[in-house]
Amino acid sequence: MTATRIDGKAFAAGVRARVAERVARLKEEQGIVPGLAVVLVGEDPASEVYVRNKGKQTVEVGMNSFEHKLPAETSEAELLDLIGKLNADPAVHGILVQLPLPGHLNSDLVINAIDPAKDVDGFHISNVGLLGTGQKAMVPCTPLGCLMMLRDHLGSLSGLNAVVVGRSNIVGKPMAQLLLGDSCTVTIAHSRTKDLAALCRGADILVAAVGRPEMITGDFVKPGATVIDVGINRVPGRNGILGDCHFDSCAEVAGAITPVPGGVGPMTIACLLANTLTACCRANGLPEPEGLTA
C-alpha cells in the first residue's frame, strides 16, 4: 500500500472535541444547551443502533438528547403533530427523523414538515435549494464529513477534478454541490455512466457513493488521487462491512484513501452534532462554530 490512510475515527473524535468545547462555552457564557431530538418510528434493528449511538454521542459532547420512539403503526397525523411540537420547542435546536420510515408514511412530507432551521439532516427541500444556490443551508452530514476530510487533507480544493460516483439525494447530489462550492470541476457518475473507469481515472478527488461493494478498483484511480469511500455494504459470507472501493488495489494507486470501516462512517454522527451546534448558534444569533460548517 502506498496511499495515506485517512483516519476518519480520529478525525471524528477531533470534531466532537471541538463541538464539546463550544458547547461548554455556550453553557458557561450564555446559559444555552443545544438540544437534538431524534424520532424513530418502528423497530428496524439497524436504525435502533444508529439512534442509540446518536443519543450517546449527543450527551457526551454536553448537549441535550431527546429521543422519541414511536410504534410502527404511528399515523402520519400523529408524526406530524410531534414534529410540530418539536418545531415549537425552544429547547430543541435540531430534529432528525430516522429513515427509512415505515411504508405507510410519506418521507418527503414528513421531512418537509421539519422547521428548515432545525433540519440537521439537511434533507428539507428549502435546505436542498439553499445549498444548490450557494446560500447558507443545513448541509447533509455525510457529505459535510467528506468535505471536512478533503479540506483537511488537501487544503484548497480549487480547480481540482472531482468525480462523485452515485447520485443519491443524501450523498451524491449534495456532495457534488459542496465540491462545486469549493471550486472543483465536478462530474456526477452513476450506474449508466459510460466507461466509468476511464472517467474516474481523470479525478483528483474520487468519491464513491454507489452502494455496490468493492466496485471501484485500482484501475479506476488516478495515481496520487484522494479517494473517499462512502460505501457501507453488508455482504453475506463476508465479515464486517465493505466499502464501495476495493481497498487494497485502490490504495496501491491513490495518494490517500478512507478505509471502511473507520473512514467516512464515524464522521456522519460527528457532523450531526456539528450541525446541531450550528443550528443552535444561528437560532440564538451567535457566531457559527468555525471549521464545522460548509
Q: Site residues (CB under 6 A) for ligand GUN?
A: 50, 96-99, 121, 141, 268
Query: For residue 80, what are the contacts with CB-CB under 8 A and spacing of at least 6?
Result: 109, 110, 113
Among residues 57, 118, 119, 121, the one annotated as catalytic is: 121
SS3 (DSSP) at 70: strand
Nearer to ligand GUN, 79 or 96 (CB): 96
Q: Most distant CA pair in the chain: distance in Å?
A: 56
Give the DSSP letter of residue 62: T
Nearest distance, CB of residue 241 and ligand GUN, angstroms: 14
d(CA 147, CA 120): 16
Among residues 98, 119, 173, 244, the one annotated as catalytic is: 98
Q: Classify the phi-psi angles of 37: left when phi > 0, otherwise alpha if psi is within -120 to 50, otherwise beta.
A: beta
Query: Residue 204 — φ and ψ, nearest 5°?
Result: -75, -30
Nearest distance, CB of residue 121 and ligand GUN, angstroms: 5
Nearest distance, CB of residue 244 and ligand GUN, angstroms: 16
Nearer to ligand GUN, 12 or 157 (CB): 12
Query: For residue 94, what are the contacts with CB-CB under 8 A and spacing of at least 6?
Result: 34, 35, 36, 37, 118, 120, 272, 275, 276, 279, 280
Q: Is beta strand 205-208 parallel, antiparallel or unpaired with respect to 161-165?
A: parallel
Nearest distance, CB of residue 225 and ligand GUN, angstroms: 26
Instruction: List C-alpha distances in Å: 187 to 100, 119, 222.
Output: 28, 27, 15
54 is catalytic: yes
Nearer to ligand GUN, 226 or 268 (CB): 268
Nearer to ligand GUN, 58 or 268 (CB): 268
Among residues 54, 118, 173, 222, the one annotated as catalytic is: 54
Residue, CB closest to ligand GUN: 99
Nearest distance, CB of residue 119 and ligand GUN, angstroms: 10
Nearer to ligand GUN, 87 or 217 (CB): 87
Beta strands in the chain (DSSP E): 4-5, 35-41, 64-70, 94-97, 161-165, 185-189, 205-208, 226-229, 233-234, 241-242, 256-257
121 is catalytic: yes
Active-site positions? 54, 98, 121
